[in-house]
């Protein structure tokens, strides 16, 4: 499968498929640069169990269970493969897969 830019240059998008929960620090940089709503901040308890999505502007501590926050890819199909999230991630915790390796 060949992809090209508007000027005819070859280009292979790499789609975000997962974020390593053990490495992610929940800084939100990837979320802020993503225009496609691909990932969201989620709360995690001490055991590593995901408690739920943290809504922007709300002070949610999940009844005192919140230990830390991480980003989770919850709309992978919306990713256009631009790579902006990977460029701003300070922990390099994201996995991106070339478009030709992802089944449609």
Question: Looking at residue 52, which CATH number applies to its domain?
Answer: 3.30.70.20
The model carries a pTM of 0.86
Encode pLDDT of 14-29 as tens digits.
Answer: 999 999 999 999 999 9
Task: Work out the percent of the chain whose per-residue pLDDT is above 70.
Answer: 98
Does residue 103 form part of some domain? no
Distance between CA atoms of residues 68 and 100, nearest Å: 35
* 7 within a domain of the structure (yes/no): no
> Would residue 3 count as lying in a domain?
no
Per-residue pLDDT for 60 more than 90? no
- Within-domain flag for 58: yes
pLDDT tier, 34 (very low <50, low <70, confident <90, very high otherwise):
very high
Residue 87 lies in a domain: yes
What digits encode the pLDDT tens for the residues 2-15? 789 999 999 999 99
Evaluate whether 17 touches 76 at the Cβ level (below 8 Å): yes
Number of folded domains in the chain? 1
* Full residue range of the structural domain in which residue 18 is found: 14-98
Sequence-distant (6+) residues with CB within 8 A of 17 are 73, 76, 95, 96, 97, 102
């Amino acid at each position: 499968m060949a992809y090209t830019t508007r000027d005819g240059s070859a280009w292979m998008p790499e789609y975000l498929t997962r974020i390593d929960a053990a490495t992610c620090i929940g800084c939100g940089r990837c979320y802020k640069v993503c225009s496609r709503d691909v990932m969201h901040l989620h709360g995690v308890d001490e055991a590593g169990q995901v408690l739920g999505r943290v809504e922007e502007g709300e002070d949610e501590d999940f009844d005192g269970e919140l230990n830390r926050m991480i980003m989770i890819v919850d709309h992978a199909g919306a990713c256009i493969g631009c790579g902006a999230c990977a460029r701003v991630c300070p922990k390099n915790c994201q996995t991106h897969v070339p478009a030709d390796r992802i089944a449609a």
